[in-house]
Amino acid sequence: MLGLFLDAFVLIILVSVLAKRQSSDFSHYFLVSFGIAVLNFIIIILSANANLGLLVLPILAFIDGLIIMKYCWLHFTKAMLIAGIFLAYRVGFEVLVVGALNS
């Protein structure tokens, strides 16, 4: 559960840093980013049961980018850049957590 709030916080930071001239309302971003974090959590859990993790990740990044573009009012390229960086963070975080738990 803590991971959902951490994901939302990281996404808020990414949007506010990379799109500070286009960003408008900080509280609105928390709701959008928390929704994206919950969506990512559900899709990753469903794909983990079916062993589709690597196939789902690019699709998930594209969906995240479209949500960021629509609800945070960003251009397509900035939204996809933020979604790509967020995907890299998610994969890195999962690798670190699994590595820490296995050692």
Q: What is the mean pLDDT of residues 19-29?
A: 70
Cα angle, residue 11 at apex, residues 27 and 82 outer, rounded to 5°: 120
pTM score, two decimals? 0.83
Task: Compare 77 and 58 and report the one with higher pLDDT.
Answer: 77
For residues 89 and 13, is the Cβ–Cβ distance under 8 A?
no
Domain boundaries, the chain: 2-102
Confidence of residue 22 (pLDDT cuts 50, 70, 90): low
Specify the pLDDT at position 23: 60
Share of the chain above pLDDT 90, in %: 15
- The C-alpha torsion from 39 through 42 and 43 to 48, rounded to 10°, is 150
Specify the pLDDT at position 53: 66
